[in-house]
Chain A
Amino acid sequence: MNTNKFFVGGIIGGVTNFLLGWLVWGMLLMNFMKEHTSEVGKAAMRSDENMIWWALIVANLLLGFLLSYILNKSGATSAGAGASTAAVVGLLMSATINCFNYAFMDMGDTTAMAVDIAASTVVSAIVGGVIGWYLGMGKKAA
């Protein structure tokens, strides 16, 4: 695995994920998710001023590195290959996490769960497409 491609791809993916996350969950789905969150779930969430931003930034970078690692390992070198592989990973990961949260926590309902899984799949596909495009750049130039 090309370490340089992995790191740069991970950072590009992390930044893309952060921006898309802010757009999708921070703006588009904000009110919908609030309507489908339980009262204890709302109480458990930090207010905007209490959010730990360094943790959110680290989390987004880690997601970028995760997709970059998988796409490097799978040999994806185009936006299409990156998007399709990342969509499957995003779908399975998000569905797993949502199922565990639903099993153990009183946070939200199954409607919020289904919408979150769909949104995660689309966002992961776009991030994967961007990373895949980057991974293919060197190969096209060579």
Chain B
Amino acid sequence: MKATPAAPRTTLPWRSVAAGLARTTTGVLLTLLLASFVIFAATYAAGDPLVVLLAGREPAPDAIAALTKQYGLDQPLPIQYLSWLSGVLSGDLGFSLQYRTSVSVVLPARIATTALLVACGGIVAIVIGLALGAVAATNRGAAVDGVALVTFSLLVGIPPFVSSAVLVSIFAVQLNWLPSFGMGDGGWDTLWHLILPATALAGTFIALVGRISRAALIRERAREYAHAAVARGVTPSRLFFSYYLRGALPTLLPLLGLLVAGMLAASTVVEQAFGLPGMGTMLVSAVSVGDVAVVQAIALIMITTILVANLLAGVAANLADPKRRGRR
């Protein structure tokens, strides 16, 4: 009996991996530094913080002078930037003009909400997308494949604010099955409250994962090792997980970076629609009133998250790709 040829087992060239990781990390840090300046300069140029502090009311000259000095607004841009950057590096994200307290006080709970929403949305997108992609790939050319492709096309075309409204209308208002608003009381109640938002958030990404996984799985099913495994009578579940899916991982893993980026952006809309107290809701509010420090902090956190997610997804994809590793 021959040994199974398929499952590509390889060893890791750790030095090469570490050097690559170091290079990529350096690039990420430089990108972050540049992004931090762009964010600061853009928000600095966007408007006068005094407008927020005085809420557009009649400003007395002495009030303007006092507030300008109090918040360091009389300093030149580079000084304000360096002061802000050193604060960020030491964990001080600045002072919220809107909330009149440290951003570090008002932001953590928002980050947790958005992280949970994106995580739930990501799980829904990956599980459903992968399942649909697998069914479509397995039945390529059949009616079920056509249904899956049409479903993907429909989901791609439905923006989150529409899917949110439709889901609320059907499952909350009409059927009264699921809550339409808020985060619940923690634990299972919170997960219960996140079912509709996570589904609304996942819609477009189900299509993305489904389409790409379908294509990747079709490709893997056509490979020589796959035919050999089928001929040897490998069980269908093992075929899928140990052969097709494993072979498709280098294609699928980079999607995680895209998912994180896309869902963070879409979460702004979904949080608004479902009244979730996340970063997106806070960002919209901060932008609308010109709360510079909050906008800067959230933009920086989002960019950092996206860069790190893409970095990790890239590393994982490389590790999973036999072409980039030495075969045994």
Determine if chain A interacts with chain B. no
